[in-house]
Amino acid sequence: MPAYWTETIYRKEKFLVRNRPIRFKSPLSSFPPKGPLMSIELSQEEADILFNMKKLYTGKELPVQFPGCGGKKSLNFQSENGREFFTLTIFKGSVDMYKVSMTHIGRKTIVLARLDLNQTHRNPDGECIRGNHLHIYRADYGDKFAVPIPPFFENCKKTLDFLDKFMDYCHIIKKPEIQEDLFS
C-alpha cells in the first residue's frame, strides 16, 4: 500500500456532540478495495471466439454425479488446441430443488453463458423474464442480460436433458457421462 494512502485512509477526525466523541470515517476508508482489483473485460468478438471453440472434458471423475439439493459441481474442459480452459458449473437450489443454474465460464472468471431453470430475472433495462432463461455474454454487461430460452431447448423435459442440450449449445464435443440423482 502506498504511503500517501496510509495518511488519508487511517486519519480519524474527532468531533464532540453532547460531550461524546464521534468518529467519522474518511471517504477513502474503504481503500484499498476488497476483492479483485480489476475485472477482466472481453470484447464481444473475443467472447464469441471463446464461446464457439470446441471443448473436451478433462476431468477424471466418471461418471459425474449430478449435484443434489444445495449442491454444486464443477466440470473442467479445454479447447481442442489445449490453449484455453473452461469450467461448467452446475448449481441446484437448496430450498427450491427445481431451481438449477448451469454456468459456462472461460478464462477462469468470464461467464460466457448461463442457463437458469425455474427462476425469474430482471434485465438492466427493466425487462422481466419469468421461468427458464439463458444469459449470454455481452460486452460491457457481462452476463447481466437474459433472454427466454431458444427453441434449441424445446424438447427438454428433465434437468439432465437441459444439461445435455446446454453442453451442445456451448460446443462441448467430448462430454462426461452424468449420473442423475434421485430428484433430477
User: Mean pLDDT for each 10-residue chunk of the chain (184 residues)?
Assistant: 38 42 46 45 91 93 86 93 94 86 94 94 92 92 92 90 94 90 60
DSSP letter (8 states) at residue 138: B
Distance CA 176, CA 184 (A): 17
> Beta-strand (E) ranges in the chain?
13-17, 20-24, 55-57, 64-65, 72-79, 85-92, 100-106, 110-117, 121-122, 128-129, 133-136, 146-148, 172-174, 178-179
> Would you state the cell numbers that stand for residue 64, as one nine-digit string?
459425474
Instruction: Enter the pTM of the model.
Output: 0.74
Q: What is the model's pLDDT at position 76?
A: 94
Q: What is the model's pLDDT at position 146?
A: 94
Tell me how many helices (H) and strands (E) the chain has: 3, 14
Distance CA 45, CA 23 (A): 50
Q: What is the model's pLDDT at position 183?
A: 57
